């Protein structure tokens, strides 16, 4: 419901879907006590180097701490 007005003027279904995904990522970071920008910056920087499932799982918001985000 919150995003309904934001997605009202999406040009395509794919654009609305992408907006919903980003919104979900931001809200999940907030729900886990993280600053969304710092968390997304870390994930986007470290994800290409992830080689194992454990590497990817370490980047999930519930596996990160605010202090870790400030270090990078």
Domain housing 35: 4-71
In the three-class reduction of DSSP (H, G, I as helix; E, B as strand; rest coil), residue 51 is classed as: coil
Could you tell me the pLDDT band of residue 14, with boundaries at 50, 70 and 90? confident
d(CA 12, CA 16): 6
Looking at the structure of the chain, the number of domains it has is: 1
State the pLDDT confidence band at 56, using cuts at 50, 70 and 90: very high
Give yes or no for a contact between 63 and 57, defined as CB atoms under 8 angstroms apart. yes
Q: By the 8 A CB rule, do 29 and 36 touch?
A: yes
Average pLDDT over residues 37-53: 94
> How far is Cα 4 from Cα 58, in angstroms, rounded to an integer?
32
pLDDT higher at 43 or 16: 43
Residue with the bigger pLDDT between 26 and 19: it is 26
Q: Structure pTM?
A: 0.75
């Amino acid at each position: 419901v919150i995003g309904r007005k934001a997605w009202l003027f999406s040009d395509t279904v794919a654009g609305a879907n992408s907006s919903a995904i980003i919104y979900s990522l931001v809200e999940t970071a907030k729900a886990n006590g993280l600053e969304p920008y710092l968390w997304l910056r870390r994930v986007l920087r470290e994800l290409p180097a992830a080689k194992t499932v454990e590497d990817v799982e370490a980047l999930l918001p519930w596996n990160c701490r605010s202090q870790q985000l400030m270090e990078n």
